[in-house]
A and B are shown apart, each in its own frame.
Chain A
Amino acid sequence: MSILVYINSNGGIHKSALEVVTYGKKIGENVTVITSGSADSSSLSSLGKYGATKVLVDRSLQNDDAQQLTRLITSAAENMNASTIVFSQDIIAKAVAPRLSVRLSAGLISGAIDIPSPDGNVKVNVFSGKAFGSVHVHSSKKIISVLPNSIQPEITGSDCAVEEYNGNIGAPSIKVIDTKKPEGEIPLPEAELVVSAGRGMKAPENWHLVEALAKELGAATACSRPVADIGWRPHHEHVGQTGVAIRPNLYIAIGISGAIQHLAGVNGSKVIVVINTDAEAPFFKAADYGIVGDAFEVLPRLTEAVKKFHATRH
């Protein structure tokens, strides 16, 4: 089985890239990575450690134009006769993988949370995390888009070859006018630790308590929908059934009641901590650790405790 793995290597190698290369290695022997990003050759070469046999890079592509990327990946897949193409389920994959599915008549499994079972079926998240489904692909070629934080990166080999590749990507159809990337923020879907807060925080000026804890933990921040709707927090922080779905290792929910639509987006988290004044808040039913208490008192105490913990470990 020859596997083609697409990674986005803009700004370096992300953890999600290590996850999908590891995924590729687990399902096939010959794993080729295709990328178009700006990462340098030595960091691309290090993907060999996670199972890549070689890395192909086309540096002519800018701005992740979906049609150009589709041409690039199609060309690489056809050249090596790939049986499976693997993506990390991010914004690029959402635009490119379905296009490839049509172009190659290859069944697309999006949101995979595990490697295929012996009968070839793949487990995915459905109903916004309220259930799992097992997907069968009828076509001989497959595309699997893996949810971030579903596979633990594993080192199994050593550096591999990196080759410049010309995918005949053609002209872009979309003109990029401006790009805004907030500096230093951890993208929410990739974050392993998330500190999230809801209406219980009372007002936007109280968020410094939430941010202080996130900073101490090295966590990303998130929020409930009403908080984003009233403009206390940016929309991209809104998690839940109609926001971002995440599956971090740790999700700390502060002053969030735990409505079914909120839980749908976060119940894939490995460990959930709930801080709420109301002992009857539904969120406690989905929690591993619960604290009945006032966030305004508990948060500074928790931040202090994390600080102390980090200090004793260094």
Chain B
Amino acid sequence: MKILVCISKSPDTTSKIAFTDNNTKFDENGVQYIVNPYDEWYALVRALEIKETLGGNVTIVTVGLAADEAIIRKALAIGADDAVRIDAEPSDAYYTAMQISNYAKSNAFDLILTGKETINYNGSQVAAMLAESLDLPFVSLATKLDVSGTTLTLEREIVGGLQIEELTIPAVVSCAKGMAEQRIPNMRGIMAARTKPLEIIAPVAIEPLTSFVNYSIPNSKTACKMIDPMNMDELVELLHNEAKVI
């Protein structure tokens, strides 16, 4: 199995979210970047598990600048075989997907895995865009993935339930919780990651379709109204008459 795992960076979940340049840019000051949790915990680990049982190769790809190599090394330390960095700022989901598509077109992967979304822009767009551009079937938000020969069996969330599906490779799958368990890289993995191949390729010319004009932070709540734990009638009354939600 030749597997491609798309990884993205995202700010550590405890990062303070702030903006600079008149609220037009994310303030990276003091922000620690991590591998987007869905990409790392589910897509990458499941790819490694499949490789461990069926053999093959796991390549990771990210669209990003040299500063993003720390997340590539982390993914290699967890166990990916080799990595590709497409040397560009990932300006929007379309731009990112088209860059990866261009790379994947000339590399015949059996399976392309992504996380279900990034935790910074939460777009959940790249994987489906990639599938469309490669004209491949796409299973979104898969919680289970098994491979037998050229057949994939997947369990995925649908509106109000679960569906079990079958399809033939090649395919693109976005991975959600349930797919695998997080792996912590060990010392040997970290050492090995330093010498694993990392190919840097130039981006192709693509015009992004969207851009962020500016950002804002939600107003913080006004003081919380405390209610006597013995008096739940008062809470119900407030929810009805003041908050008007019941």
Contacts and interface: CB of A to CB of B under 8 A. Distances in A.
A308 B121 CA distance: 43
A133 interface: yes
A43 B97 CA distance: 38
A126 B210 contact: no
Interface string B203-214: 000011111111
Contacts of A230: none
Contacts of A103: 132
Given A261-B13, A273-B235, A287-B224, A91 B157 contact: yes
A274 B229 CA distance: 11
A8 B159 contact: yes
Interface in B125-178: 125-129, 131-133, 137-141, 143, 153, 157-167, 177-178
B105 interface: no
B217 interface: yes
A79 interface: no
* Size class of the B contact interface (CB-based, 8 Å): 35 or more
B106 interface: no
A289 B157 contact: no
B213 A135 contact: yes
B245 A235 contact: no
Contacts of B132: 70, 98-103
Contact of B137 (A126, A173, A288, A304): A173
Main secondary structure of the interface of B (DSSP, over half): mixed
B215 A290 contact: no
B210 A179 contact: no
Interface stretch (B67-75, B186-194, B236-244): B236-244
A178 B163 contact: yes
B141 A94 contact: yes
Contact of A99 (B128, B158, B236): B128
Interface stretch (A18-26, A107-115, A196-204): A107-115
Contacts of B239: 250, 271, 273, 289
Contacts of B153: 177
Interface stretch (A27-35, A152-160, A294-302): A294-302
Interface of A: 8, 10, 63-64, 66-67, 70, 90-92, 94-103, 105-111, 121, 125-139, 173-182, 185, 187, 192-193, 217, 228, 235-236, 238, 241-243, 245, 249-250, 260-261, 264, 267-268, 270-274, 284-294, 297-298, 301-302, 304-306, 308-309
Given A134-B216, A288-B243, A308-B236, 13 more contacts: A91-B157, A107-B210, A108-B209, A131-B216, A176-B164, A179-B161, A180-B162, A180-B163, A182-B160, A182-B161, A236-B157, A286-B221, A305-B233
Interface of B: 11, 13-14, 17, 19, 37-38, 93-94, 97-98, 117, 119-129, 131-133, 137-141, 143, 153, 157-167, 177-178, 207-218, 220-221, 224-230, 232-233, 235-240, 243, 245-246
